[in-house]
Amino acid sequence: MRAVQIVLCAALGVLVLAFPGLVNAYWLSVAILAIFYAIVTASWALLVGYAGQFSFGHMAFVSLGAYTSGLLVKWFDIPIPLGMLAGVVLCAIVGSGVGFVGLRMRGPYLALFTVAFSEVLRIIFVSEVEITGGSGGLEVAPLFHTRSDAPYYYVGLVLLAGSLAAMVALVSSRWGLFFRAIRENEAAAAAAGVKVVRFRVLAFAIASSFAGLAGGFYGHFLGILTPDIGSVDQMGLVVAMAVIGGAESLPAAVIGALALEALVEALRSYGEWRLVVFGALLLLTIRFARNGLLALAWEQLARVVPVVPAPRKTA
Amino acid sequence: MSALLIETHALSMRFGGILAVSELDFAVHAGELVGLIGPNGSGKTTTINMLTGHLVPVQGEIMVRGVRAHGQAASAYATMGVGRTFQITQLFGRMTVLENMLVPGLARPGSKKAGATRAARRHLEFLGLAALENLPAKNLSGGQQKLLELGRALMLEPAILFLDEPFAGVNPFLRDEIIVLVQKLHAEGRTFVIVDHDIEALQRLVHRMVVMARGRKIADGTVEDVRHDQEVLRAYAGF
Ligand SMILES: Nc1ncnc2c1ncn2[C@@H]1O[C@H](COP(=O)(O)OP(=O)(O)OP(=O)(O)O)[C@@H](O)[C@H]1O
Ligand SMILES: [Mg+2]
């Protein structure tokens, strides 16, 4: 049994590593974007699924991280990793600010507040044409000057693995316990001695910095940034990815993102109709599988295929 | 007299036009077991909320062990050793019984996972919940949830515990059990302030009774004193 699992994992690992050699340039770029969405979705799941702070402004931090790095590299010619780091730090700071201002709000009010923040930021990026290039876009230095995108794929993979490992470690720590306690019942968490203000702000800061990291990677991969990356449409896509995969499990959110991005591309010939399919999928998931389709599928799989371990009941 | 744990001066709370608590002077010493009674809406829960940092009084002073605690967050009160339960049980529903206990255990400064887990299991054993530790809290019965909430407060190793209606909606058997549990905890040196409408249960338990009506403290003394107090009789009859 155990041997079968090891073989399966090894095969999956080889497949993931060999992926760039197996597909054409188009699908490789889709995979890189999927990895980008996976980091964003996992960090949104951390904020919403674990900490219970419903934010609709997560993509604003993606764009903030992306523009910060893109502009710093353009202006000061600093190394790209340093620019990305600056984006992460700025996102942590601004994220704390948003978390702090949103402290008195919860549920739909917090969501509305974060939408407003997100739109304000997007409009600034659109309007400050002198600095950002507005809707025409900002040219961003590419991370690599290779003909193939394979290096981006591997860097993305490392970023995803690193982010996921850090987030999993976080949610398994006492901070993760406090995040969930606040999500479940803020008054009770406070009565239990949890510094609610500190941890709500921390949740925003941490999740926002991962969004900023993903944003930096995204900008330096595409080479061009437009304010659309921080739009509500994009946010809707991330929410769909998290909810369909399962917002209360980080790996499920990642798989949701990868699967949905692949689906978006695979169904491209259906035009706008594919969005209707996603909308329906989202509604069905919310109605019938609150923990996401993945948890549901996994449970069924564990029942049928004996080598699959049953899902752990936590969240 | 033993140490003063909590002391208030002229504490008041107002909600819009309603003066929920008015000029309350109240003190609890270490080792006391105090009952706090009064008709519905007399300000008992509001008093607990202020004394545990869940509400900031509009006026007055709160001293916890001689330190001015006014305006501090509820979590700071918890850290100072002020524990509480809620009138309507407030648990972390989708977390397990053990996790519910570990939240206060690990929120304590300098705590370690192993030590907190050991303490949690000890308290769960004491409360008769040990077999349920891996169940989500929301799956517990109403009575079990009340016990778990008490256990969670005990994880703070509190100097003083405020219980808001521990006997409400509890069958007579569990009621007796809770009385015994509180007596045991009191014998170990814990201090209690218990709000309830079950005067009979309180009479078996407490040594001192405080009575509130319309936001004011109208009596404070032994159970005997309070029972014959004319103002108390009037407050209850007039309600
Ligand atoms: N959050 C609040 N907002 C507005 N009014 C409130 C609030 N909390 C309490 N009140 C009002 O304050 C008064 C005192 O309420 P409180 O809950 O303290 O009473 P109580 O003595 O605990 O009553 P009961 O025995 O019914 O629980 C009531 O008139 C109540 O309506
Ligand atoms: Mg009450």
Out of B83, B95, B106, the one facing A184 most closely (by C-beta) is B95
Contact criterion met (CB < 8 Å) for A188 and B152: yes
pLDDT at A151: 92
B60 within domain boundaries: no
> Among A256, A225, A250, which Cα is nearest to A122's?
A225
Is residue B59, in this structure, part of any structural domain at all?
A: no
* pLDDT for B1 beyond 60: no
Measured CA to CA in angstroms, residue A290 lies from A47, A172, A249 at distances of: 17, 22, 12
* C-beta B38 within 6 A of ligand 1: yes
Q: Which domain holds residue B149?
A: 33-53+73-237
Count of pairs with CB atoms under 8 A, one residue in A, one in B? 81
What ipTM was reported for this prediction?
0.93
Q: Are B2 and B31 in contact (CB under 8 A)?
A: yes
Token pair, residue A103, equals 């402290």
CATH number of the domain at B168, please.
3.40.50.300
> Is the pLDDT score of B103 beyond 80?
yes
The domain ranges of chain A are 27-228
Q: Does an H or E element contain B220, and which?
A: strand B216-222
Protein residue with its CA nearest to atom 25 in ligand 1: B40
Alpha helices by DSSP H, listed for chain A, are 2-22, 25-45, 58-76, 80-101, 107-127, 129-132, 150-172, 174-184, 186-191, 196-222, 232-245, 250-266, 273-288, 293-304
B24: in domain: no
- For the Cβ of B20 lying below 6 angstroms from any atom of ligand 1, the answer is yes
Model confidence over B186-235: pLDDT tens digits? Answer: 999 999 999 999 988 999 999 899 999 899 998 888 888 888 877 777 77
Any domain includes B153: yes
Strand B4-15 vs strand B59-64: parallel, antiparallel, or unpaired?
Answer: antiparallel
CB contact under 8 A, B107 and A178: yes
Asked if pLDDT for residue B50 goes beyond 90, the answer is: yes
Mean pLDDT of chain B: 92
- Ligand 1 mutation pick, B12, B15, B84, max ligand atoms within 8 A of CB: B15
Question: In terms of Cα–Cα distance, which of A219, A221, A208, A264 is closest to A51?
Answer: A208
B37 alpha carbon – ligand 1 mean position (Å): 14
| B181: in domain | yes
Distance CA A20, CA A37 (A): 18
- Mutation target vs B (from A50, A173, A174; most B CBs, 10 A cutoff): A174
**Model pLDDT for residues B79-99, shown as the tens digit of each residue:** 999 999 999 999 999 999 999
B12 lines ligand 1 (CB under 6 A): no
Q: Tens digit of pLDDT for each residue in B129-180?
A: 999 999 999 999 999 999 999 999 999 999 999 999 999 988 889 999 999 9
Total of domains in chain B? 1
Structure tokens at A240: 């769909």
B190 found inside a domain: yes
How confident is the prediction along chain A (315 residues), in pLDDT tens digits per residue?
678 888 988 999 999 898 888 989 899 999 999 999 999 999 999 999 999 988 899 999 999 999 999 999 999 999 999 999 999 999 999 999 999 998 888 788 888 999 999 999 999 999 988 888 888 888 898 988 888 888 999 999 999 999 999 999 999 999 999 999 999 999 999 999 999 999 999 999 999 999 999 999 999 999 999 999 988 889 989 998 998 888 888 999 999 999 999 988 888 888 778 778 888 888 888 788 777 887 778 777 777 776 666 655 444
pLDDT at A309: 64
